[in-house]
A and B are shown apart, each in its own frame.
Chain A
Amino acid sequence: MRRCPVQLSEIALVNWGPFYGSHSINLEVTSAAPVILFRGENGRGKTSLLRAIVWCLYGAMTDQNGSSLELDKMINIDALQNGETHFEVSLHFSHKGAEYTLHRSGTAVEDRPGKVSLSHPIVDLKPVGGQPYPAGQIPEIIDGILSGEVSDFFFFDGEMLNSFEKRLRDDQSTSQGFVRQQVERALGLPFMTYLSNDLDVIQGVLTTNLEQVIRKTQKHAGLSEKYRTAVDALQGVEGDLSKLRDQEKIVDKEVADFDAELAKVDQIKDLYFERKNKEDEVARADTNIADLKASLALQAETNWWVSAADSLKVALDDVETQRDTLSETDRRRFVLEYQIEQLNDQLSNGVCPTCGQSIAVHDEQSRREELVELASQLAEIPTTSIGEVTVRRDRLRPFGSGAAVVQRIFDLEQNLRREKVYNDRRKARITEISERISVNTPDIETLERNLIDRKDAKRRLGNAISGLEEKRVALKTQVQDLGSQIANQPEVDETERRLQKSVKEAQGTVVKSYDGFRDSMRRNIEKAASDLFLRLTTEPSYTGVSISDDYMISVLDHDGHPQYMVSAGVNQILTTAFIGALGECSVEEAPLVMDTPMGRLDVGHRSGVLKWVSTFSSQVILFVQSGEYDPDRDAGLLAGKIGREYVINRLTERRSEVRAA
């Protein structure tokens, strides 16, 4: 990783954001451990610190929607209420070996609650050991150190990621234009545009002068006339182009305004969509509830006996017991009958069937008494038929499944109860949302319709501009050719002719370079984004990122085919990779300052970002909250690259402090 020429060494704040009074934070790090961690929960002042850096450098800052943020919003409220009117931010930094102190300060007075008057802030920039620069030159000097034009590639927050992500997800022509614009910003191409325009003006002046020379001779009236006609046509087209570009700016502003308006109502939008989702869920749950009720009714109807299931089970158990008893009784009867039959045989034959001796030997009298006893026992055995009991048992057996049927019914009722509870919660949430969005709800649908309408207008203007651009190029070529013909006339001074030719060649060089640089930058950014995306993604089937010739950005699947429809999670990673690549490839170099960059990423992707950060040798300042960084779990991912670690603590509702962790 490169070592950036700009390094922040200290930031000092007075009455800024939640930082009441004076605070000074050391930001010095080494290339071995270039990461500075600021840990703090939401509302502690992480974004205020990022804004302090941006405001100190550029004298302006943006809010979470990308709109300009008023300075009075950043003045500490306690200070205002205590009448402490002074506020300031100072940055100490080095650039290419030289050290500087940039200081911006002002005074603020709270006229009445919520109404703050600010003095014109003062700015001064002083090289260490040198004289302060004139105030008027400071913006240009700072721009030379790190252009405000590309500063958001280095100083960005989670909201900017969201905004980029939204733009990349936008419809094709808008996202293509956006990607191309970012590539040109990273390359610093606006400068080349100015150069090309300046050369056009110089050549126009030169050729017009030459044309006046040949017109005087009256020899080349036709050529002169052609040239003037072409110049007039070119000026006409440029006039039209200028008008269209003005219109485009207006439409751009309208699009930005609608975007900002929609961003402001994002929360309401979220609620609007949450309600819609909840309504869909309720509809599905209602169907489910109806199905469960129908199943219950079917069970109740089919199993008409279920309300007596327990009695039937008892009856079945009783009849089973009864049948067991009767079986025993039957067995006993059989034994008694057999014994009686044996005794009767002995007594009638007079011979013992066991030993073969005369029965008299065994006491005939006692045998007869035994016979009477057995007959008596047989008479006492109930005569109930086991057959009847068996029939009853068989009739009751189908009800033996009562427990299972009742279990099914209880289960269905439990599911129904649960489904109803969840659905009641959904309905309560719908009511709550409806109450919240019924108060002063902006017409989101109209806003979105207007936004689409403006985007269509922008597209139409883009097409018209593109058509005129082509016409302009053709006319320009014609004017240049005619200019060359004029320059080649003998009446023209040789020096003037050479000058005109040189300017023409310079123009050609700039145009060719412009396209070449942009294409080369596109490829560099594509490569850097691809490397970073692969480093961050947890999905092995993606093989990289592509930025096509017409600036369509996409992820590549395992076969290297572009995938334009990807999940929100993949789009977040793509966005992070794209911004990281823009910063890496930018002509500028600066520390990377990221505020809550991983808030919406899952654990795998957070690890990827931290591992990426651990590869830096240049200064990185990370503002993180506990949801995205856990020191115990994640410090290892930064591989010992943490040079400084701070915790932002809340002292009161309006005051925070930064302490070394």
Chain B
Amino acid sequence: MNDTKSPGSGDKTNIRTSEANADVLELLVKQGHFQTRLGAFQAAAMLALRKDLPTVDLPSAGGLNYNQGSFKQVIDFLTWYVPTGTPASLLEQLGNAGTSYVSEKVRSGGYTFTEIFEIVPPETIS
């Protein structure tokens, strides 16, 4: 029921996380890196996009379930940036891949936000 497609677009209407990833997102909030699990999921998706992480298979049940409307900004972004006609599906894959990728550091604790998300120093961006 969580994998329903958006009518007419062929995309998903809901975005799910695995149960394990839900715990990691919860930890990211508890450790004070994010205000919400949704925010942490978006950041994880952007990490996966940047690192071109391989997608992971989602179990059929468990975890968190969001309406794709909650991710409007990211979905709009993915639509033109990738580009893709199924940005919600892509976001689900990216978010879960990114969350799995950071899970070890988050579970062990003691890492900063920039260390977890491997954010490069500002001088190398400009």
Contacts and interface: CB of A to CB of B under 8 A. Distances in A.
B18 interface: no
Given A308-B50, A409-B119, A403 B35 contact: no
A395 B82 CA distance: 13
Contacts of A294: 32
Contact of B122 (A305, A396, A403): A403
Interface stretch (B3-11, B19-27, B109-117): B109-117
A256 B113 CA distance: 59
B113 A413 contact: yes
Contacts of B119: 306-307, 309-310, 406, 409
A307 B46 CA distance: 6
Contacts of B47: 307-308
B124 to A, nearest CB: 7
A296 B33 contact: yes
A439 interface: no
A31 to B, nearest CB: 71
Contacts of B125: 309-310, 313, 402-403, 406
Interface in B81-126: 81, 98, 112-114, 117-126
B42 interface: yes
Given A307-B46, A404-B122, A296 B113 contact: yes
Interface string A577-592: 0000000000000000
B78 to A, nearest CB: 11
Contact of B46 (A298, A306, A315): A306
B52 to A, nearest CB: 9
B34 A301 contact: yes
Given A313-B125, A406-B125, A410-B122, A395 B34 contact: no
Contacts of A315: 81
B32 A297 contact: yes
A434 to B, nearest CB: 26
Contact of A304 (B46, B114, B120): B46
A410 B123 CA distance: 11
B36 interface: yes
B55 to A, nearest CB: 17
Contacts of A296: 32-33, 113
Max chain B Cβ within 10 angstroms of own Cβ: one of A294, A298, A305, A395: A305
Interface string A379-412: 0000000000000100110000011101101100
Contacts of B66: none
Interface in A270-314: 293-294, 296-298, 300-301, 304-311, 313
24 contacts: A297-B34, A300-B39, A300-B40, A304-B46, A305-B46, A305-B77, A306-B46, A306-B119, A307-B43, A308-B47, A310-B124, A313-B125, A315-B81, A392-B80, A395-B80, A395-B81, A396-B81, A406-B121, A406-B122, A409-B114, A409-B119, A410-B121, A413-B112, A413-B114
